[in-house]
Each structure stands twice: as structure tokens, then as C-alpha cells.
Structure 1
């Protein structure tokens, strides 16, 4: 498999991690779209949200809990932040490994 996020998880590609446990890793995006731009990904390779199964429900809930924790640690929880999950090519997904973008640190435009 040639998944860049799987390579980050295994350590063959370096990243600036902000969180890691047995199921999830989070790191700074290398092309940030906001002052705070962190990716939260499961260690389990799931290509898109469409590939999530009922057995993944607890993992998906944990992704959101970790994103919330990161927003607090990064100091953007009170002022506000955006969580984004792109699905498929028309949804803007570039890396086919499920991930949440945690964006904040400035007034974000668009998407009301």
C-alpha cells in the first residue's frame, strides 16, 4: 500500500505529532490552511468515511474526542474551530485514509 498516512503512522515519513495513542495519531498539516491545522487520523487504514462500518463506530467517536482535546490544547476551543472530513474526489479528498482536519486560530471564511 502506498498511503502517505500509513507511512507516517509506521514512522517511515516524519511528522510533527501532537497526539498519539494505540488507535489514533494527530500531527500538523504540512500545507496549513489556517494558523492551526492539525490532521487527526485512525491508525487503522480506512479509505473514506463511506468505508466506515458499525465496528468502527467507537473509533470514529474517539477521533472526534481527540479533535476536541487538540482544539483545547491548541487554544482554539473557546474562539472556535472547524472540523473537516473530505469524502471522495468531488468532496476534495486527496489522501485516501480517513482523517479530520482541525482548523482554527483565525476567523475562517465560507461554509456557514
Structure 2
């Protein structure tokens, strides 16, 4: 398995935009002070909308499988954490948390409940990737969560997992 040697979003953003040593330390320790939350939101917003290294996906995408239609089709540049023949892990194109990595099988599988015995090898690799990324995120940020959604909670009808850390970036934080 080939994992990226990159750092998590919060630490990267703090370094890139020189947010200051206090913010960088808070990002590393996942400390949530009011000042840090505000800083995280600003840095994440700049990362999402103003970074020439990472184009933002067209907001008008209205399909049902972003992963097959856009991410795996190469229609947007992704900051990859891991890639193999079966699995791709990358930083979310529109993060909800300061650290937000998506792990997706390259084979179309509609959801977690659609997995079959034929998908065992993919599932094992997904779990290994999730374990590695969650451990890395926990080590760098102090905490991590792994999420997946089903049914109406699943916006994109393609099995995927989120590895996240930090407080949610609420819509109010995106106002100019």
C-alpha cells in the first residue's frame, strides 16, 4: 500500500497560510478554542475556494454517483492520500471538518448493504486503509471518526467512508 506522506488539512492549512504557532499547535492537538474554530473555518474556506493547488468541484453537479462520475473519472484534481487498483482515498473536495478524507472502492458498489462475498478483497483493503488513515489522523490531531451513510443519508450512491477530525465547519463559517 502506498500512502501519501502529506499532513492533515488543519496542520497543512496552518502552515501554508501562516496562521501562527498557537493555531498550528491547536491544529495538531485538535484543541477547540473559539479563536481556533474561527481560524480553522477561515483556513478551510481558503483551502476550498482559493487554493490554486486544489481546484474546487463544480457546485452544479447533480448526479447520483459523484465518485464514478467525477472523482474516479478524473474530472477534478484530488489531493490523494492512498491509491491502489481497488481503493482511492483523498481529501474531500468540499470538507465538512478540518480533516476530511474520503475512502472509496473503485468498483461501483452502491452502499455498505450492497456488499457481497465477491467484494471481500475490496472490503478487506478498505478496512486496512481506514485503519491506517484513522490512526494517522488520531496521531496528528488527537482524535478521529470513521463514518458512512445509508439510504436517504447517503448523498452519493457509491459506497464510501469518511475519516474526519475536528469540529464541523458550519455554513455560518463560510460567510465573507
Task: Give the TM-score taking structure 2 as reference length.
Answer: 0.53
CA distance change for structure 1 residues 56 and 32 in 2, over 3 Å: closer, same or farther?
A: same
Structure with the bigger percentage of helix: 2
Matched, 1:93 2:154: yes
Aligned partners of 1:80, 1:68: CA distance in 2, in Å?
A: 13
Larger Rg: 2
Cα RMSD of the aligned pairs, angstroms, is 2.2
Q: Which has the higher contact order (CA 8 A, sep 6+)?
A: 1
Q: Cα–Cα, structure 1 residues 88 and 77, in superposed 2: closer, same or farther, change >3 Å?
A: farther
Instruction: Provide structure 2 residue ranges, at least 5 long, that are not aligned to the other structure.
Output: 1-62, 169-176
Aligned to 2:133, what secondary structure does the other structure show? helix
TM-score of the superposition, structure 1-length normalised? Answer: 0.80
Aligned 1:71-90 pairs, distance under 5 A: 71-73=134-136, 75-77=137-139, 79-89=142-152
Query: Aligned with 1:10: secondary structure?
Result: coil
Instruction: Determine which structure has the larger strand proportion and give its number.
Output: 1
Gaps of 5+ in 1: none
Matched, 1:32 2:95: yes
